[in-house]
Amino acid sequence: MSAPTPTPALRCTNVVKRFGDFEAVKDVSLEVRHGEIFALLGPNGAGKTTLIGCITGLGRATSGSIEVFGFDVQKDFRITRRLVGLVPQEINFDPFLSPYQSLLVQQGLMGRKPDPARAEALLETFSLSDHRDAYSRHLSGGMKRRLLVAKALVHHPKLLFLDEPTAGVDVELRKELWDEVRRLRDEGTTIVLTTHYLEEAEMLADRIGVLRKGELLVVEDRETMLARGGGDKRLEDIFVQLVRDGAKEAAE
Ligand SMILES: Nc1ncnc2c1ncn2[C@@H]1O[C@H](COP(=O)(O)OP(=O)(O)O)[C@@H](O)[C@H]1O
Ligand SMILES: [Mg+2]
């Protein structure tokens, strides 16, 4: 991991996101350090995707502030959108474009000149070269996932969000993605990963945050969190306990 810098990769301060009367994100304050893999865990509906949307510019926080490498995501949007990459939870590319075309289009969307060499290199990295010119809709599920990751990387983001990248993905591809995530981290990319596969966080994360019903219950480094179980519990059991305790506290 690179040396900590005074400016974190991400700083959320008292972030609230409401949809009408419903508060999907409740007063979340959180820092993600430069160069770490941060796992954001939480049951379905906890607010993970909503929070990521506020950071990446898909949505707007109702209140609070969000900074990426010290830049405000609303005021300095032109800067932050280029610093951030997002692998969305939902597959979202044009089914009629080929992987190669998708990458070139994405370069344009990110305000870059067409860079065929970069596109080819990403296809190579993600084992998509053989399908370079196929319709994206004809790709297998695993290839679609890999193309999503490749697309998120066209502009060399320094902070990458992976929103449940391995949901419904087979074991082999999951392992490939883990290797890729580690490789990106080793190159200096800061990574925020959401998942509900606890083993994934246990394998990959430097630090872990647990979100429940929009509230950030705890943020700890992996070892500290694992030590909550006296060293012999899996993260999964610790997580279930945390979420349950959170529910009890809320009821009191
Ligand atoms: N556009 C929206 N309008 C109304 N409610 C929403 C919207 N987007 C998300 N929500 C609600 O916000 C909560 C958090 O959703 P989400 O961020 O998708 O959770 P997660 O990603 O942790 O599963 C859920 O209760 C969801 O139904
Ligand atoms: Mg989600």
Relative to the alpha carbon of 216, which ligand is closest?
1
Higher confidence at residue 150 or residue 3?
A: 150
CA 205 to chain centre: 12
**CATH architecture, domain defined by 10-93+161-251:** 3-Layer(aba) Sandwich (3.40)
Q: Which atom of ligand 1 approaches the CA of 42 most closely?
A: 22
Q: pTM value? A: 0.91
Which of 75-84, 127-136, 190-199 is least confident?
190-199
Predicted local confidence at residue 82, as pLDDT: 93
Does position 153 have pLDDT exceeding 60, yes or no?
yes
Q: Give dist(CA 122, CA 101) in Å, integer.
A: 12
CA of 108 to the centre of ligand 2 (A): 27
Question: Exposed e or buried b for every residue in 149-165, given b needs 16+ CB within 10 A?
Answer: bbbbbbbebbbbbbbbb
Q: Mean pLDDT, to the nearest integer, of 5-26?
A: 94
Q: Mean pLDDT, to the nearest integer, of 121-131?
A: 93
Q: Which atom of ligand 1 approaches the CA of 214 most closely?
A: 14
Does position 20 have pLDDT exceeding 70, yes or no?
yes
Radius of gyration for the chain, computed over Cα atoms and rounded to the nearest angstrom: 18
Q: Mean pLDDT, to the nearest integer, of 106-114?
A: 90
Identify the band that residue 47 occupies on the pLDDT scale cut at 50, 70 and 90: very high
pLDDT in tens, 51-61: 999 999 999 99
Domain assignments of the chain as residue spans, ordered by start: 10-93+161-251
- 104 contact partners, CB below 8 Å, separation of at least 6: 114, 116, 119
Task: Please choose from 17, 40, 50, 164 the residue to mutate so as to test ligand 1's pocket, defined by most ligand atoms within 8 A of CB.
Answer: 50
CA of 189 to the centre of ligand 1 (A): 27
Task: Please choose from 17, 18, 19 the residue to mutate so as to test ligand 1's pocket, defined by most ligand atoms within 8 A of CB.
Answer: 19
pLDDT in tens, 221-232: 988 888 877 767
Predicted local confidence at residue 73, as pLDDT: 97
Q: Mean pLDDT, to the nearest integer, of 14-42?
A: 97
Predicted local confidence at residue 251, as pLDDT: 63
Judge if the beta carbon of residue 47 lies within 6 A of ligand 1: yes
Q: What is the mean pLDDT of the chain?
A: 89
Residue 212 contacts residue 181 (beta carbons within 8 Å):
no
Looking up tokens 């979420």 gives 243
